Chain A
Amino acid sequence: MKTLLLTGGRGVNMTPFSKTRPNSMIPIGGDYLIDHTLQSLKSAGIGSINMVVGHKSEVLSNHLGDDHFSDGNIHVINQGKSSTIGSAMLKAKDRFAPGDHFLLVYADIFSTSNIFNLALQAFGLHNEPTALICLTQSGEKYGNVYLDGDMKITKIIEKPKKKAGLGNYVLAGVYVLPYRFFGYLKKTRGNMELALQQVLKKETLRAAIWEDNWLDMAFPWDVLAANRNIMELWNSTDIHHSVKLNETVIKGPVKICKNAEICTGSVLEGPAYLGPGSFVGHNVLIRPNTVIGSDCVIGQGAELKNCAIFDNSTVGRLSFIGDSVVGAGVDIGAGTMTINRKIDKKTVRVLINGKKIDSGLSKLGAFIGDGALVGASNIIAPGTIIQSEERIEHNFSVPKSTGTKGRK
C-alpha cells in the first residue's frame, strides 16, 4: 500500500530540541525515531514511502543519505510554507491516484511493536477508511472517538476540555484513507479534523484498537519514556568485541557499542545503552534507563540516571544528570547537578512556549538543547529548559559568581 509519512511538523512542544531538528530526528534507544518508523513500515511490507518534509528537513536528509531505505524507495516532498497537517498532505496529492487507499502516518508516533501491521489488517477487514485508536492518560490533547459495537467511529471530539470529563480512545496518528480524502481536505481548506468529520458524515470510519505501548513524541520528557519502552524489552547484554572494559560492574541488560571504553571502578546498571566511541571515566555510576549516544565523554565520578545524552556531549566530573535529556554537542562542566525533584514532591511543571505544562512526573530534571554550554558547578532546578547554543557561566562560590547568564 502507498504510504504518506508526515515529518514536516515544527514540534513546538519538543523544546529545546525542536529548534535544531525535526521530531523524527530525536534519538531513542540508540537510533533515531525515523529509523524505528521506517523499520516498522518495512517489516509491515511497505515498499514505497512518500515522505513530506518541512521543518529542519536538512537534518533528516543528512541522516537518511541515499540508500537508507535500501529495499524500497522514499519520495521526498517539501511541504514549503504549509502549516497544518492537512495542507502538508495536499502537497503530496499528486503521488496518489483516484481509487487508491493509502496509509497515513504521523512521524511523531512511537511504539515498540508494529502498529502499521494492525492498520493494514484492520483495513483489510472491511475495505473501509480506518483509524487506529489507543488509550492515553492525556486524552485532552487528541481527538477522542466514540465507538459502536461494530467498531465504527460515531463521533470525534477534538481536544476536549478536561471539564467535559472525556476519557476515551483517541486517534493514534495512523490511518488508512481513500484518495477521496484529499477532496475532503480541499473542501475544508486543509483542516484535518474537519476532513475526518466529513468521512464520518459521508462514509464509514472504522476503528482498530491498538493495545500495545504508544507514544506521541510531543514533549521533551517523552524521550525518556520512549527509551524506557525500548529498553524494557531487552533481555540480554550485548557488548561489542572492541569495547574496553576495566573492572567494570555490569548488572542487567546493557548494550555497549563499538570502540566504547569504560574505566576502572564504574558501575553500569541496565537497562542502559552506551553508543560507539563513547568514553566513561573512573568510578562512574550509570543507573537504569540511561542512553548515552556516540562519542560522548562522561567524567570521573559522575552519576547518570534515567537520562538521555545525545551524540558528542561531555558530562564533567562529579556531576549528576537524572531524569534529564541532554542534546548533542553539549558541554556540561564539572560538578553540575540536575535537581530532579521538587521539595514538596509534587509533579514538575515545565515552561514550554510561555505556558507552564504539568509533566505529570514527580521526578524530572533538565532539558539542555543541542550545543549548549553549561559552566561548572551549576545547580539546575527541576524542569528547567536550557536553549540550544545557550551559554551558562561557571558558578563560583569564591569569589562569588554574579550568576549572570548570557548567550554565546
Chain B
Amino acid sequence: MCGIAGIVAHEDITAKLVDSIRNLEYRGYDSCGVALMNGSGVISVSKNVGAVDEVSEKENFLKMSGNIGIAHTRWATHGNVTKANSHPHSSGNKAFTITHNGIVSNHDNLRTELGKKGYKFKSGTDTEVIVHLIDDQFKKLGSVESAFVNAMRKLEGTYAIAMITAHDKGKIYCSRMESPLLLGVGSDANYVGSDFNAFINYTKSAVFLEDGEYAIVTHENHVVKKIATGKTVERDVQELQWDLEMAQKGGFPHYMLKEIYEQPQIVHRALDIDGAEIREMAKAAINQKNFFITGVGTTFYVAQIGQYYFSNYAGITPMVISSDEFRFLAQVDSKSLVLAISQSGETYDTLSALRHAKARKAKTAAIINVMGSSMARMVDHLVLQGSGPEICVISTKAALAQMIVLARIALEAGVMRKHITAKEAKTKEKELRKLPNAIDKLLNEQSAFIHAIAKKQSNIRHWLFLGRGRYYPVARESALKMKEVSYVHAEGMPSGFLKHGTIALIDDDLNSVVFTPTEDEKDLFKLTLSSAEEIRARNGYVLGIRFKTKLKQKLPFSDEIVLPKTPSFIAPFLQVVVAHLLSYFTATTLKRNIDRPRALAKSVTVE
C-alpha cells in the first residue's frame, strides 16, 4: 500500500504537499518523495528512504518551491527500499514526472519494448516503465492527453497514477484502475489523493473517480473522462463529514481491531512468501552448530513458539534468548546462526544482539516487517513477512505472521533433516492454508462471546495464563497482550508450574485462562485439564480456551470459549487470535487508550 498526493494552485504549495503525505503515512512509510513544478515548467524532484519528517529534513523538502506538485509515501512490497526506487519517477528529459500506487503486471514486456527504443532505466520499479511509456507516446502523438491515455490503455494490472509535465503546465493528470484515487475540490486549489487524508485539512469537497477513469485537474476546475472511450463523465462533487483519525482506521474504532481483522489476509501473505526464501533460511538454521533465535517482548514469545515448532517438527531445539539478555548469555561463535525477530527491524535490544553476534563472526538472519530497516540491511539471510504497516503499538498481525513464518521454516528444516517426510510437511502446509478461513470464522462468529466474557471479568486485576507444550508460549504472549493494552496484571506460565508454588495465589481475586490443546494431543490435553481441575478444586475461576471435543463429560472450566475442531498444527495460532480479542475487549471495557497504551512506544529504539 502506498499513498499519493497532489496539489494544483496558483501560489506555493510546498508545505501543504509535505503535510499531505504526512497524513498518508499510515499507508506506508519506508520511503517518500515530492516533485514540484514552478511557473516556468521546471520540475524538481526530491526523495529518499525513511519516514516523511526524516526525509523532509534530510532532503530539505521545505526549501523547494512550486505551485503544482505531486508526492508519494511508499511501503515496498516488491523492489528494494532505495532512493532510486522511491517515487516520484521522471522521464529521462525530466519532462514527465509521476507517482504510482499498484502493480503493473506487464511491466517486463513494456520494459523490453522501451529498452529497444533506447530508454534507460534507473530503478527496478514498474513505475519508471510507465513514465517512459508516456514519454514515448508523447513523442509519437504530440499531445499530453493522448499520450497519457494511450499509455494507460497499454497498462495491465492495478494503478493509481498522478502526473505533472512541463509540456502542459498548470495541470495534474491522474488515473485510476483498482487502486484508490479521488479528487479534492478547494476554493483556490484542487487536490488529488489516494484517500481524502491527503487533503482533508484543505477541503471537504471531493469527486470520486471510478476504475478505468482519468482526470485532468487545474487550480480552477477538473474534468473526468473514461480511459477506454475518452468520453467525459459527469460526476457530482460530494460534501462529506470527515474525521481524520477515523478515516485512517477505515471505520474501525481502533487500529488494534482493524489489524486483528486483517489477520486472515496477513496469514495468506505469510503463506505466499516464496518457498525458496523459506528453504534458504531453513538451510542456514540447520547448517550451523548452534542456532539461536532472539527477540524481545512479543517477539521473544514468538521466538519461543518457533522453538517448539522446531523441536516438534524439525527435531532440533534452538536456543531462544531474549535479546536484552543476549550478550550476557549467548555464547556465539562463527559456527552459530542468530535469527532475530522484529516488526520494525529497528528494535534497539535486538539490533545489539545482532551486532554482538556479528562481532563474534556468527551468521545472522532476521524475520522482519519493515523493508529497508537497519536489521534488513545488516543480516546475511532475510525473510520479509509482508504484513503491511502496523500502527497500533500492540503487535497483533505482525506477531502472528512471524509465528507462521517460523512454523514454515521449521517444517522445511524438518524435511531437510529427515525428521519428517516431505508428505508429512505437505499435510501440515495444507493445514496452514486453512488458517485464514479459521481465523475469519473465529472473528466473525465468536467476537460477541469473547466480548461478553471480557466484560463480565473486567473487574479482575490479576490473571494467570496457563499452557503446556506449544501452548505455553501462547499463554505468555497472551498475558503480555493483556498487560500492554488493558493494564491488568497477567502472568503467563507453563501450567505444570502451578503446583510448584503459584497455586498458593488462587482466590476470588485471581482468574486463570487455560489454553487447552486439541483432543488429538492426548498427553498435553490430559495434563492441561488436570491443571484446570487443580484451580477449580480451590474455587478459582478458570476460563478455558479450547477446541470442540468428542468427550461427553463437562470440562473443568467456569467459562469457555469453544473453537471448532482444528488440526493441532495450527491450533495455537487460533488461540493467539482469541487472546487478541480478549485483551482488546477487556481494554475497551476499561476504557483504555487502545492504540497508544501509556508508557509504550511502537518501536523501542533505546536501551
On A, residues with C-beta under 8 Å from B are 45, 120-125, 127, 135-137, 139, 144-151, 155, 165-170, 206-209, 211
- Would you give 19 A-B contacts (Cβ < 8 Å), ordered by A? A121-B246, A125-B247, A127-B208, A146-B440, A147-B444, A149-B264, A149-B265, A150-B250, A151-B250, A155-B444, A165-B562, A167-B447, A168-B445, A206-B251, A208-B251, A209-B251, A209-B253, A211-B253, A211-B588
How many Å from the CB of B446 to the closest CB on chain A?
A: 6
List residues of chain A with CB within 8 A of the CB of B252: 151, 209
**Contact indicator A209/B257 (Cβ below 8 Å):** yes
List residues of chain A with CB within 8 A of the CB of B242: 121, 124-125
Chain B residue nearest to A99 (CB atoms) is B236
Interface residues of B in 176-233 (CB under 8 A from A): 208
Pick from B241, B257, B265, B588 the residue with the most CB of A within 10 Å. B241
Give Cα distance in the complex from A174 to B136, angstroms: 53
List residues of chain B with CB within 8 A of the CB of A136: 448
**Contact indicator A147/B261 (Cβ below 8 Å):** yes
Chain B residue nearest to A212 (CB atoms) is B253
Indicate if B449 sits at the interface (CB-CB under 8 A): yes
Indicate if B262 sits at the interface (CB-CB under 8 A): yes
List residues of chain A with CB within 8 A of the CB of B238: 127
**Contact indicator B448/A139 (Cβ below 8 Å):** yes
List residues of chain A with CB within 8 A of the CB of B247: 125
Indicate if B462 sits at the interface (CB-CB under 8 A): no
List residues of chain A with CB within 8 A of the CB of B562: 165
Interface mask (B236-248 → A, CB under 8 Å = 1, otherwise 0): 0010111100110
Interface residues of B in 488-545 (CB under 8 A from A): none
Indicate if B258 sits at the interface (CB-CB under 8 A): yes
Q: Known contacts A127-B240, A149-B262; can you find 15 more A-B pairs with CB under 8 A? A: A45-B241, A121-B246, A122-B246, A125-B242, A125-B247, A137-B448, A137-B452, A144-B445, A146-B444, A149-B263, A167-B446, A168-B446, A168-B447, A168-B448, A170-B448
Q: How many residues of chain B get a CB closer than 8 Å to chain A's CBs?
A: 32
Give the dominant DSSP class at B's interface. helix
List residues of chain B with CB within 8 A of the CB of A147: 261, 443-444
Give Cα distance in the complex from A268 to B288, angstroms: 77
Pick from B250, B257, B265 the residue with the most CB of A within 10 Å. B250
Indicate if B433 sits at the interface (CB-CB under 8 A): no
List residues of chain B with CB within 8 A of the CB of A170: 448
List residues of chain B with CB within 8 A of the CB of A135: 447-448, 451
Chain B residue nearest to A119 (CB atoms) is B241
Give Cα distance in the complex from A79 to B333, angstroms: 82
How many Å from the CB of B264 to the closest CB on chain A?
A: 7
Give Cα distance in the complex from A168 to B446, angstroms: 6
Give Cα distance in the complex from A45 to B246, angstroms: 19
**Contact indicator B261/A169 (Cβ below 8 Å):** no
How many Å from the CB of A204 to the closest CB on chain B?
A: 12
Give Cα distance in the complex from A148 to B246, angstroms: 17
How many Å from the CB of A19 to the closest CB on chain B?
A: 32
Query: B448 is contacted by which of A120, A124, A167 (Cβ under 8 Å)?
Result: A167
List residues of chain A with CB within 8 A of the CB of B451: 135
Query: A124 is contacted by which of B241, B258, B447 (Cβ under 8 Å)?
Result: B241
With contacts A135-B448, A137-B452 taken as known, whether A207 is within 8 angstroms of B251 at the C-beta atoms is yes
Give Cα distance in the complex from A169 to B247, angstroms: 20
List residues of chain A with CB within 8 A of the CB of B444: 145-147, 155, 168
Interface mask (B445-464 → A, CB under 8 Å = 1, otherwise 0): 11111111000000000000
List residues of chain B with CB within 8 A of the CB of A120: 241
What are the 5 A-B residue pairs with the smallest beta carbon separation, nearest first? A167-B448, A124-B240, A149-B262, A167-B449, A146-B444
With contacts A122-B251, A125-B247, A207-B251 taken as known, whether A165 is within 8 angstroms of B241 at the C-beta atoms is no
Give Cα distance in the complex from A137 to B264, angstroms: 25
Give Cα distance in the complex from A123 to B247, angstroms: 10
How many Å from the CB of B315 to the closest CB on chain A?
A: 36
Give Cα distance in the complex from A206 to B241, angstroms: 16
List residues of chain A with CB within 8 A of the CB of B208: 127
Give Cα distance in the complex from A145 to B588, angstroms: 21
Give Cα distance in the complex from A359 to B348, angstroms: 54
**Contact indicator B241/A121 (Cβ below 8 Å):** yes
Give Cα distance in the complex from A139 to B449, angstroms: 9
How many Å from the CB of A178 to the closest CB on chain B?
A: 13
Give Cα distance in the complex from A168 to B251, angstroms: 17
Chain B residue nearest to A151 (CB atoms) is B251
Give Cα distance in the complex from A278 to B60, angstroms: 72
Interface mask (B567-596 → A, CB under 8 Å = 1, otherwise 0): 000000000000000000000100000000
Give Cα distance in the complex from A149 to B452, angstroms: 22
List residues of chain B with CB within 8 A of the CB of A124: 240-242
Give Cα distance in the complex from A168 to B449, angstroms: 8
List residues of chain B with CB within 8 A of the CB of A127: 208, 238, 240
Interface residues of B in 428-483 (CB under 8 A from A): 440, 443-452
